[in-house]
Structure 1
Amino acid sequence: MGLLSEVLLLPLAPVRGSMWVLDQVVAEAERLYYDPSAVQAELRALEAKLDAGEIDEETFDRREDELLDRLQAINARQGTGT
């Protein structure tokens, strides 16, 4: 039965391969999104933009709040609670 099912499912191999690739891309995106060092780097870059006058205070505050919320979610997800 194993060989027969493999033969019958062979036309679906490209779909299964595509799904595996998509799963890998999503996993990597989540790893990067939930990486605290990436969020901290974004915070530093945001502060540099504010200091350089590239963004105004309101934009800085809004984006900083988003990043700090993300950092808090990362800490909660990792169980540090900080």
Structure 2
Amino acid sequence: MGLLTQVLTLPLAPVRGSLWVVDQVIAAAEREYYDPEPVLRELAALERELLEGRIGDEEFERSESALLDRLEECQAHRPDAPGIHRIDT
């Protein structure tokens, strides 16, 4: 039965191959989107801008809040990663 099934489904092989490629592209895109490293670099750069006086406190807090939300989203998608504990002031 296995040989017969392979022969009958042979015309679907390109479709299965295409679906595999699409799955791999989606997985790579999700890994890149949910990678916390770029968000952490942006937080560090934002703090440097504040300390150097290039941005004010309000802009810093607004941008920091957005980045921390993004970081929480990354952490929520990766259950194996340690959690981010956010303290709102």
TM-score (norm 2): 0.61
> Structure 1 unaligned runs (5+)?
52-56
Q: CA deviation at 1:43?
A: 4.6
Deviates more, 1:11-20 or 1:36-45: 36-45
What SS class does the counterpart of residue 23 from structure 2 fall into? helix
Structure of larger gyration radius? 2
Structure 1 residue ranges, 4+ long, deviating more than 6 angstroms after superposition: none
Q: Which residue pairs with 2:80 in the alignment?
A: 78
- Identity within the alignment, %: 59
Matching residue's letter, 1:22: V
> Structure 2 unaligned runs (5+)?
49-53, 85-89
Q: CA RMSD in A?
A: 3.0
Q: How does 1:5-16 map onto structure 2 within 5 Å? A: 5-16=5-16
Relative to its length, the structure with more helix (as a share) is 1
